[in-house]
């Protein structure tokens, strides 16, 4: 949920009886500290902090040029100079610096995406007393996470919005819908499994419990809540019939993530070999996104959403949480 | 389930309290008549007959040559003559001839795949008193089926084994997992919805009911039952760890269908632009399948299976049906 929420949603959900979460993939150490202060002032209930833990790739000049070339026509169309093509990482992985901030706050739950951080870094988080969570997109990944120190595994079905969490295989064909992945992970593991992917209302929660989940992770269903920082463009797309058609795309970051199909996805193909490796694709498309958004267009905006985006409620996070809880 | 079951499974399931079904996509009028006689002698409970209702394509010489070229190396490897490359349809759509046979038996339920037959033919089936079912892979298709005479719609999630039932759009990215498709179809329709895709045990049934299904359609879970005609090669694959990796492939018929990944899928790519239009791809790959199978290999066999193939039980159809029923 990086980019669409801050501590406000985390606090509201934790106060409503859920486990609120703070996405930290795009936060500096200083912002993380400020956000954690806000959370601890705002709720006395448990909360979670979420980090990406990818290995930053070496910049690849040839691939960045390919990306520049592919986006140049759009740069020109929007009156931008394609020779001024930014590069650099779009998201930061979990690090010793961030762990140092966590040590000040000792968050009760810490979740990771794309596997787990290096053993010594993970050990440092466990030493704070935090329960560790991470996402699995296959049974193999779930077993790996259990063997490598997770206390809970999040089974991420293909319906889920945002970045796929895969880390052992990049072959998308091995990934499964929630209806298949969830019971298989439950059967394979000894530790509790959290379901995610297409769970957007109380019926979805009840179905996930029937398939063996001990808890659910819900993202998309909160995107229209006032506590989210979802942009007006993103909100409009979510509330429109366009939200019925999502697809996995690597155009916005370099890794497959599910969002509402928009112009750049239609024209370049959602899964393309043009973008450089995650997260290096982000920088080059950012100026297009900013310029288009200034014109009121979401043509280059990642409109992250799961396959049940139509269930988003324009309601407070408290009400959304209470409604979901009826499925337990 | 064409190719892996006959009237025997249909009778066993209907006698166990389910709605048994006879797949008719590969049956002649005479075989259909014989099978229906067997069913009516074997059960007094309701049963279903299932037909494909595609529009047969014009043979396309250029595309068939492309297919021949693509498969030639395999022909040579297996000692077959690539110049003796068969063509012709692999499956027959529902027709007036088959409707005539149905009129002798008046089956209580008739289901279709790939939409519905032409209005006059459909009307003829409805005039027999049959309830009409067909599969939807999107909300749009579900609404179309409701508007065009279906009494029940089968919401086919992406987890399902065998042929995808899409008929309004060939864009696979619009298709959804059961967790998303099912509740959306339930919400959009006034008629009852049957869930399919990844439902392989009582928990799956309970989850589908929680998402609003009035019934479930189960295929893969029966494939190891003695009443199925599943080949030894297919059974071995289903019972092995290979069953964890299924993919959609158009190599066996020309249309995307889910099966366990095997050699030809790995080597040619599961979704390829080589095969001619459905069902014309079937003929050319058939000799490879036959030869490989005679050597004990499933390299060219469609190993149809859903994403929960690991739940297949080596048990009687009666026991499988009773176990599933515990989820209601």
Mean pLDDT of B168-194: 97
- What pLDDT sits at residue B89? 79
**Residue B119 CB burial class (10 angstroms; 0-12, 13-18, ≥19):** exposed
pLDDT tier at B245 (50, 70, 90 boundaries)?
Answer: very high
- Tokens 């973008």: give the residue: A275
Domain range holding A15?
7-54+91-230+313-325
CA distance A178 to chain B (A): 6
Contact A307 B158 (CB under 8 A): no
pLDDT tier at A89 (50, 70, 90 boundaries)?
Answer: confident
Does residue B96 fall inside a structural domain? yes
Contact B204 A261 (CB under 8 A): no
Q: In what order do the strands lie in the sheet with B47-52?
A: B20-23, B47-52, B109-113, B131-136, B152-156, B193-196, B215-216
DSSP three-state, residue A54 = coil
Q: CA-CA distance, A239 to A314, in Å (whole number)? A: 9
| Average pLDDT taken over every residue of chain A | 97
Contact (Cβ atoms closer than 8 angstroms) between residue B287 and residue B86? yes
Out of A139, A180, A307, name the one closest to residue B176 (CB). Answer: A307
Is it the case that residue A31 has pLDDT exceeding 90? yes
Mean pLDDT of B264-282: 96
What pTM was estimated for this model as a whole?
0.95
Does residue A27 fall inside a structural domain? yes
The CATH code of the domain that includes A45 is 3.20.20.70
Q: Dihedral angle at the C-alpha atoms of B311, B315, B317, B318, nearest 10 degrees? A: -120
Does residue B182 fall inside a structural domain? yes
pLDDT tier at B251 (50, 70, 90 boundaries)?
Answer: very high
H-assigned helices in chain A: 7-15, 29-42, 61-77, 96-105, 119-127, 139-147, 178-188, 202-210, 232-238, 263-268, 281-294, 317-325
Does residue B21 fall inside a structural domain? yes
CA distance B299 to chain A (A): 18
Any residues with CB less than 8 A from the CB of A194 and at least 6 apart, and which? A133, A152, A153, A154, A155, A213, A214, A215, A216, A217
ipTM exceeding 0.95, yes/no: no
DSSP three-state, residue B186 = helix
pLDDT digit string (tens) for A293-318? 999 999 999 999 999 999 999 999 99
pLDDT digit string (tens) for A91-122? 889 999 999 999 999 999 999 999 999 999 99
Please compute, for residue B94, the number of CA atoms within 13 A of its CA located in the half-sphere on the CB side.
Answer: 25
**Residue B73 CB burial class (10 angstroms; 0-12, 13-18, ≥19):** exposed
**Residue B227 CB burial class (10 angstroms; 0-12, 13-18, ≥19):** buried
Contact B245 A211 (CB under 8 A): no
Contact A210 B207 (CB under 8 A): yes
pLDDT digit string (tens) for B5-25? 999 999 999 999 999 999 999
Contacts of residue B207 in chain A, CB cutoff 8 Å?
Answer: 179, 206-208, 210-211
Contact (Cβ atoms closer than 8 angstroms) between residue B244 and residue A216? no
Contact A204 B184 (CB under 8 A): no
The pair of three-digit structure tokens given for residue A183, joined into one six-digit string: 């019971």
Contact (Cβ atoms closer than 8 angstroms) between residue B324 and residue B18? yes
- What pLDDT sits at residue B59? 87
Does residue A170 fall inside a structural domain? yes
Domains of chain A: total: 1
Contact B159 A173 (CB under 8 A): no
Decide if B220 touches A, using CB distance below 8 A: no
The pair of three-digit structure tokens given for residue A100, joined into one six-digit string: 């140092």
- What pLDDT sits at residue B268? 97
Share of chain A above pLDDT 70, in %: 100
- What pLDDT sits at residue A293? 97
Decide if A206 touches B, using CB distance below 8 A: yes
pLDDT tier at A40 (50, 70, 90 boundaries)?
Answer: very high
- What pLDDT sits at residue A309? 97
Contacts of residue A178 in chain B, CB cutoff 8 Å?
Answer: 177-179
Q: Which of B296, B295, B237, B272 is nearest to B284 (CA)?
A: B272
Is it the case that residue A90 has pLDDT exceeding 80? no
Q: CA-CA distance, A83 to B126, in Å (whole number)? A: 65
pLDDT tier at A87 (50, 70, 90 boundaries)?
Answer: confident
Strand bridging mode A215-216 / A20-23? unpaired
Is it the case that residue B27 has pLDDT exceeding 90? yes
Does residue B234 fall inside a structural domain? no
- What pLDDT sits at residue B272? 96
pLDDT tier at A152 (50, 70, 90 boundaries)?
Answer: very high
Does residue B143 fall inside a structural domain? yes
Out of A159, A184, A311, name the one closest to residue B177 (CB). Answer: A159
Decide if A177 touches B, using CB distance below 8 A: yes
Q: CA-CA distance, B195 to A5, in Å (whole number)? A: 35
Any residues with CB less than 8 A from the CB of B202 and at least 6 apart, and which? B323, B324, B325, B326, B327
Does residue B12 fall inside a structural domain? yes
| Average pLDDT taken over every residue of chain B | 97
Is it the case that residue B90 has pLDDT exceeding 80? no
pLDDT digit string (tens) for B313-327? 999 999 999 999 999
Contact B173 A198 (CB under 8 A): no
- What pLDDT sits at residue B88? 84
Mean pLDDT of A15-28: 96
Residue A52 CB: number of other CB atoms within 10 A?
A: 23
């Amino acid at each position: 949920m990086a980019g669409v929420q801050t501590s406000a949603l985390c606090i509201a959900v934790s106060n409503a009886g859920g486990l609120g979460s703070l996405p930290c993939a795009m936060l500096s150490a200083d912002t993380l500290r400020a956000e954690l202060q806000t959370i601890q002032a705002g709720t006395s209930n448990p909360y979670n902090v979420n980090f990406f833990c990818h290995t930053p790739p070496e910049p690849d000049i040839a691939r960045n040029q390919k990306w520049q070339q592919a986006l140049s026509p759009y740069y020109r169309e929007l009156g931008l100079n394609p020779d001024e093509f930014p590069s650099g990482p779009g998201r930061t992985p979990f690090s010793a610096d961030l762990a140092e901030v966590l040590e000040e706050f000792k968050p009760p739950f810490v979740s990771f995406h794309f596997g787990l951080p290096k053993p010594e870094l993970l050990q440092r988080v466990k030493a704070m007393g935090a329960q560790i969570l991470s996402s699995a997109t296959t049974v193999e990944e779930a077993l790996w996470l259990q063997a490598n120190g997770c206390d809970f595994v999040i089974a991420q079905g293909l319906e889920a919005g945002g970045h796929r969490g895969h880390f052992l295989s990049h072959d998308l064909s091995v990934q499964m819908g929630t209806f298949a992945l969830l019971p298989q992970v439950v059967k394979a593991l000894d530790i509790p499994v959290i379901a995610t992917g297409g769970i957007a209302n109380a019926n979805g929660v009840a179905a996930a419990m029937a398939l063996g989940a001990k808890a659910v992770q819900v993202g998309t269903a909160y995107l229209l809540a006032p506590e989210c920082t979802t942009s007006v463009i993103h909100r409009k797309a979510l509330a429109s019939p366009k939200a019925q058609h999502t697809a996995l795309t690597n155009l916005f970051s370099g890794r497959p993530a599910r969002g509402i199909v928009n112009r750049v996805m239609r024209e370049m193909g959602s899964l393309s070999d043009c973008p450089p490796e995650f997260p290096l694709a982000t920088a080059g498309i950012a100026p297009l996104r900013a310029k288009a958004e200034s014109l009121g267009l979401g043509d280059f905006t990642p409109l992250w959403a799961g396959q049940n985006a139509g269930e988003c409620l324009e309601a407070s996070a408290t009400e959304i949480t209470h409604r979901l809880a009826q499925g337990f």
